[in-house]
Amino acid sequence: MRRSLSAPLSDRDRELKGRIFDIQSYSVHDGPGCRTLIFMSGCPFRCKWCCNPESFYNRQGKLYRASKCVNRADKRCTRCLEACPYGAVSDNSQDPDHPMKFDWEKCHVCTTFECVKACYDDALVTISEEYTVEQIMHILERDRHYWSGNGGVTFSGGDPMFQPEFLLAVLERCDEAYIHKAIETEASASTDVYLNVMRHMDFAFNDLKSMDTEKHREYTGMGNEQVLQNIRAFTSSNCSARLILRTPVIRGFNDTEEDFDKIGAFMREVGLNELNILPFHRLGVSKWEELSMTYAFADDKPTSPEKLESLRKVVQGHGVKCYVGSETPF
């Protein structure tokens, strides 16, 4: 029987909080049916192409949207400068692209964010919020009326497994409420955590970015050993989730037929037969700017259809079904 949400929470569930940087309802590309997407903060990787770089840290941070900043020659504003107690802000109104300058070393360790409270123009915004298990369950109960028969919740990030205790507490509640659960994961957690989470899942997109661990380290900050170990562990476990591997195509990192031949061979070896190839896009570029970080692929174009087709054929040669972009059949 479905558990009522008024059922008492355990002490652990009541006290736990998870850091979340976005919640989206009505998603149709991140698992079967219509879904609620929960974007959880924190990731051990630092992928140079990441479209959610605000998820890198599992702590509060801020974005500076210079285009909204009104500290211009014709309309001065120095509210954030006056509000910051740490001397991290300086007037830069002579540069219309960056009318305020921030000492990001100071901002990265800030916990008070007075500048954000002082900005009335949404030029400064905090990145994330903390939620309790109960708050998440209320959002899911609200949304479930709009999910189609096989819809549900998808945990994304960041890597949701970066907050395992909170994630597992929510998953247990979803199990009790018969909610369909999906995850988009980097699979970088310890194998124990990875399998504990995957045992709750009905569906998973699991990134496998490259079989070359040195390149993996150069472009993401970490080697691929843990990812490969986790995928192998999944295939010999009793987890019943439908697992689809996912590979973004990144110039100079993994965009050759040889790269995808190695991925296809690995999948054949471990007995997985579905791969989702994601064409490169620049959707995250503005967030890199808002965090004052340098985006390495600012001049790159989206992956050409010809290249995607050639990579697909290589993968299919290993007996693996290959979906490009949002083609994945759910």
Residues 284, 295: contact at Cβ < 8 Å? Answer: yes
Smallest distance from ligand SF4 to CB 162, Å: 22
- Phi, psi (deg, nearest 5) at residue 214: -70, -45
Q: Which is nearer to ligand SF4, 76 or 142 (CB)?
A: 76
| Residue 249 to residue 303: CA distance in whole angstroms | 7
Q: Rounded to an integer, what is the distance from CA 65 to the centroid of its chain?
A: 21
Q: Which is nearer to ligand SF4, 86 or 146 (CB)?
A: 86
Q: Which is nearer to ligand SF4, 71 or 210 (CB)?
A: 71
Smallest distance from ligand SF4 to CB 94, Å: 14
Smallest distance from ligand SF4 to CB 115, Å: 3
Q: Which is nearer to ligand SF4, 68 or 138 (CB)?
A: 68
Cis amide prior to 325 (ω within 30 degrees): no
Return residues touching ligand SF4 (CB under 6 A).
62, 69-71, 77-80, 84, 86, 88-89, 100, 102, 106-107, 110, 112-115, 118-119, 121, 123-124
| Residue 52 to residue 157: CA distance in whole angstroms | 8
Q: Could you tell me where the beta strands, DSSP code E, fall in the chain?
A: 17-27, 35-40, 62-64, 89-91, 100-102, 124-126, 129-132, 152-156, 180-185, 203-207, 242-248, 274-278, 321-324
Smallest distance from ligand SF4 to CB 283, Å: 24
Q: Which is nearer to ligand SF4, 123 or 208 (CB)?
A: 123
Smallest distance from ligand SF4 to CB 315, Å: 45
Smallest distance from ligand SF4 to CB 111, Å: 8
| Residue 288 to residue 166: CA distance in whole angstroms | 27
Instruction: At 33, list the tokens.
Output: 């049916």
Residues 74, 99: contact at Cβ < 8 Å? Answer: no
Q: Which is nearer to ligand SF4, 86 or 178 (CB)?
A: 86
